[in-house]
DNA sequence: ATGGGTAGTCACTTTTTCCTGACTAATTGT
DNA sequence: ACAATTAGTCAGGAAAAAGTGACTACCCAT
């Protein structure tokens, strides 16, 4: 076994998992917006030109499931929900910046 | 504009491009194998269980187009082609390792 | 000349992903 | 009461990605 992380198991090393987690449509963009500020459903719908409810809902749900975004109900009264980057996600930011420089 | 790289243009920042370039099926795995040694078509077909010619051909072509892999004809006589990581791709390895640690 | 290796391509089917439009359910403003 | 906001869901269709099996073309060993 010469690879730095095993190849056989159903699905790969952490980096590969992350890659997959960010590979659906809109996901990378949502992540980038979330770097700057918490994101919200309808706001995203307006910001991301061409996006639709269904795809955004799926993207948000999956980003949450992968532990990159955290959903929080800010207010119940006038319904207000926001998604923020998890600590894990925040720790990835410098790495992505580095990628921006190199790629 | 608060984003660290512009959101509007057809397709995003370098990191996002890279992400997309590695998001097709088998691509990440091919990349990982190529880190250890040059890869070859039929060898990949055997190494990557479940992979098929068509998908590998596409993956290799696209990785090449994105400037991550370089195709070289080692021998013409008994046909022998290999794909190696480009310099750019090699420069990304430490970043991916970091990702492995954090993700 | 038959079988096996190299590296693919081509047409077609299946699977997955994405998009569309209608609908829910609650709150706020006019 | 009515429109608009919030955040979604659901069924169905279109589009994109992936897989299948047959085929090419060339080389080498038996």
Q: What is the CATH number of the domain that holds A48?
A: 1.10.10.10
Q: Is the CB of A99 under 7 A from strand D?
A: no
Q: The domain containing residue A60 runs over which residues?
A: 14-102
Q: What is the share, in percent, of chain A residues with pLDDT greater than 90?
A: 86
Over chain B, what is the mean pLDDT? 91
A70 pLDDT more than 50: yes
Instruction: Measure, in angstroms, how far nucleotide C18 C1' is from residue B63 CA.
Output: 24
- Is the residue at A5 inside a domain? no
Give the minimum alpha-carbon distance from B55 to chain A in angstroms, rounded to a whole number.
17
Confidence band of B11 (pLDDT split at 50, 70, 90): low
Q: Residue A41: which of A73, A10, A15, A13 has the closest Cα? A: A73
**B34 CA – C11 C1', rounded, Å:** 31
- Is B47 within a domain? yes
Q: Kindly provide the b/e burial profile for residues B36-71, where b requires at least 16 CB atoms within 10 angstroms of the residue's own CB.
A: eebbbeeebeeebeebeeebbeebbebbeebebbbe
**Residue B5: inside a domain:** no
B43 CB below 7 A from strand C atoms: yes
Half-sphere exposure of B7 (CA within 13 A, CB side): 21
Checking if the pLDDT of A40 tops 50, the result is: yes
Q: What percent of chain A has pLDDT over 70?
A: 89
Q: Cα separation of A28 and A30, whole Å? A: 5
Chain A residues within an 8 Å CB radius of B8: 49
Q: How confident is the model at residue A11 (pLDDT cuts 50, 70, 90)?
A: low
How many domains would you assign to chain B?
1
Q: What is the mean pLDDT of residues A25-33?
A: 98
- pTM more than 0.85: yes
Per-residue flag: B86 CB under 7 A of strand D: no
């Amino acid at each position: 076994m010469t690879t730095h992380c095993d190849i056989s198991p159903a699905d790969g090393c952490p980096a590969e998992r992350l890659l997959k987690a960010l590979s659906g449509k809109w996901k990378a963009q949502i992540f980038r917006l979330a770097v700057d500020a918490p994101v919200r459903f309808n706001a995203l719908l307006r910001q991301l030109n061409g996006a639709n409810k269904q795809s955004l809902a799926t993207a948000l749900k999956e980003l949450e499931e992968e532990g990159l975004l955290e959903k929080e109900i800010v207010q119940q009264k006038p319904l207000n929900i926001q998604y923020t980057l998890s600590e894990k996600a925040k720790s990835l930011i410098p790495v992505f910046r580095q990628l921006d420089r190199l790629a």
